[in-house]
Amino acid sequence: MAVSEIGISGFASYLPRYRVRLDDWCGWTGDSWDKVRTVIGTGFRMRGSNENAYTMAATAVTRLIVQYDLDPEQVGFLGLGTESSTDNSAGSVIIKGMVNRALKQLGRPPLSRACEVPEFKHACLGGVYALKAAARYLALDGRGRTAIVVCSDVAEYERATSGEPTQGAGAVAMLVEASPKLLSLELELSGSASDYRGPDFRKPFFRFMQQTPSEYAQPRDFPVFNGKYSTTCYVDEVLAAARSMFARLETADGQAAGRPAEFLRALSATFLHRPYQRMAETGLIMSYLLALAVGNAEDHLELQHYAEPADVNLDDLIAELTREPDVYALVEQQKLGEELYPLATQTARVFRDGPQFGELMTDLGNRGMQEVGNLYTASLPAWMAAGLEEAAAQGMQLAGTRILTMGYGSGDAAEAIPMRVVKGWEAAARKIGFQQALGTPEDLDEAGYHALHDGTAFPETSPPQPGVFYIDHIGQREERFDDSGIEYYRYQS
């Protein structure tokens, strides 16, 4: 069975109820609401004090099984993509155990005992790696089975840092199977890139030392990051993955794709990892400029159309876009604030204001994503879910068209994966339920936000939501056995 016959048949999401409206946040902090709204979005979600990456993931997986009426005994792969897990030993078996308890309460059979339960970690790219692993499983020893990939994360930053308005929390589960009902993966055309980038964005264990645990023993997971350098890393790695994909298009799919720029223009939608809205836009613009730079004379003429108003020399721009700079040298030379793509950045500003940007950048699902914030590994699949659900609601004719997904994980690595929308996709898209997952949020005031963010006393005044997992209690050392620090969960039926 070819890998191209494997893909995604469904999505299900969980987004915690607590929301910070960024216009309120700007009032608390004095930041510019106009700038925040344009660059970042309108709000972000926060997990409750008794929620974590596992509870959110288990809720999303349970919803996926119910929404698509899956046979749990046919699931042979349950992969977790996260950078917020709190156990350094067990992987998604924690989620499997939680889901099985919920399925028992729902009168359904459990997930198969013969089910692989790996966890994938590479910052925000772990979920994409899990998706590729699921496809490879189904193409080889998992033939005849189904797979579930769940991406679940808590994105949180210290207060009064540039990352604070880009927080978020949530989980998205994907049903992966042969003869998919939504999207067929085109891994033979995908592009990969990775390179070590030092202090781009890291989570060393040293941060947890001397932390006072909250009621549910959750450490504050504030990352170490360097804003300008992290942006440079994102742009460079996305360009490298795009370059890898463009090379494959020329040899594997010349008839369908044509030149890289033609390939990008022919897409019905593009979904990227979005730490915030403007970053995703920049990644797509830079990829398109690269496609023009590696193209023919016609492409270069179009690129010149954007370069001239930016006062950028075309040959210099092409040279900048097609070279592969040593980004880590910025760390070694202590120049983390240096711009490695100055000409492309100037040109991108002109391109963003032109009509071609509106044709290239999909608006599908954008409104919902502006509200939830950065979901780390769940960011990309959440946008895909929101976009496909919206496309089905609008009656868009997407069957046979191609979308492009571009995942990124700090550290750094990126994946560019084209996917085909399959015939009859609308039925599966109507079951996604992303708008339902958005629900009716509870907006936090400043005091509530500080308490929930800092792990201090936060009153959970609202009753537990039905169909959602919560941390019940934390184990402690006893004479009979040692379960100190182990989380126990409950499913709210």
pLDDT band at residue 55, thresholds of 50, 70 and 90? very high
- Contacts of the segment 464-468: beta carbons below 8 A, 24+ positions apart: 464/492, 465/17, 465/492, 466/492, 466/493, 467/59, 467/62, 467/63, 467/491, 467/492, 467/493, 468/14, 468/55, 468/59, 468/492
Is the pLDDT score of 311 beyond 80? yes
- Lowest average pLDDT, out of 26-35, 188-197, 242-251, 290-299, goes to 242-251
Q: Domain segments of the chain: what residues?
A: 3-492
Instruction: Give the type of residue at 95.
Output: I
Is the pLDDT score of 401 beyond 70? yes
Is the pLDDT score of 270 beyond 90? yes
Mean pLDDT computed over 131-159: 97
pLDDT band at residue 216, thresholds of 50, 70 and 90? confident
- CA separation for the pair 253, 263 (Å, rounded): 10
Is the pLDDT score of 101 beyond 50? yes
- At residue 479, the pLDDT reads 72
Q: Write down the residue that tokens 């089910």 correspond to.
A: 115
Mean pLDDT computed over 444-460: 91
- At residue 254, the pLDDT reads 44
Is the pLDDT score of 39 beyond 90? yes
Is the pLDDT score of 2 beyond 70? no
- At residue 461, the pLDDT reads 77
Mean pLDDT computed over 474-479: 82
- At residue 258, the pLDDT reads 65
> Helix, strand or coil for residue 129?
helix
- At residue 457, the pLDDT reads 82
pLDDT band at residue 209, thresholds of 50, 70 and 90? confident
Structure tokens at 31: 């930041």
Is the pLDDT score of 345 beyond 90? yes
- CA separation for the pair 201, 408 (Å, rounded): 12
CA distances from 437 to 6, 174, 320, 465, 493 (A): 26, 15, 43, 12, 17
Mean pLDDT computed over 321-335: 95
pLDDT band at residue 98, thresholds of 50, 70 and 90? very high
Which pTM value belongs to this model?
0.96
- CA separation for the pair 56, 60 (Å, rounded): 6
> Tens digits of per-residue pLDDT, 403-431?
999 999 999 999 999 999 999 999 999 99
CA distances from 490 to 117, 223, 473 (A): 20, 29, 9
Instruction: Give percent of the chain above pLDDT 70.
Output: 98
Is residue 26 within 8 A of residue 33, CB to CB? The reply is yes
Mean pLDDT computed over 59-87: 97
Match domain 3-492 to its CATH number in 2.40.30.170, 3.90.1010.10, 3.40.47.10, 1.10.10.10: 3.40.47.10
Q: Return the closest-CA partner of residue 400 out of 141, 184, 228.
A: 184
Is the pLDDT score of 256 beyond 60? no
- CA separation for the pair 268, 282 (Å, rounded): 19
277-293 vs 314-322: helix crossing angle, rounded to 10: 110
- At residue 489, the pLDDT reads 97
Is the pLDDT score of 458 beyond 90? no
- At residue 255, the pLDDT reads 46
